[in-house]
Amino acid sequence: MKQITAIVKPFKLEDVREALAEVGVTGLTVTEVKGFGRQKGHTELYRGAEYVVDFLPKMKVEVVVNEGDVERCIEAIVNSARTGKIGDGKIFVTGVERIVRIRTGEENENAV
Q: pLDDT tens for residues 35-83?
A: 877 766 666 667 777 767 678 899 999 999 999 999 999 999 999 999 9
Task: Report the alpha-carbon distance of residue 58 to residue 108 in Å, rounded.
Answer: 29
Task: Report the alpha-carbon distance of residue 11 to residue 57 in Å, rounded.
Answer: 10
- Where do the domains of the chain lie? 1-108
Enter the pTM of the model: 0.86
- Which residues in 1-112 belong to E strands, given as ranges? 2-8, 29-35, 42-46, 49-53, 56-65, 89-95
> Does position 86 have pLDDT exceeding 90, yes or no?
no
Q: Can you give the pLDDT at residue 112?
A: 81
Hey, how many other C-beta atoms are within 10 angstroms of the C-beta on 13?
19
The topology (CATH level 3) of 1-108 is Alpha-Beta Plaits (3.30.70)
* 52: amino acid identity, one letter: V
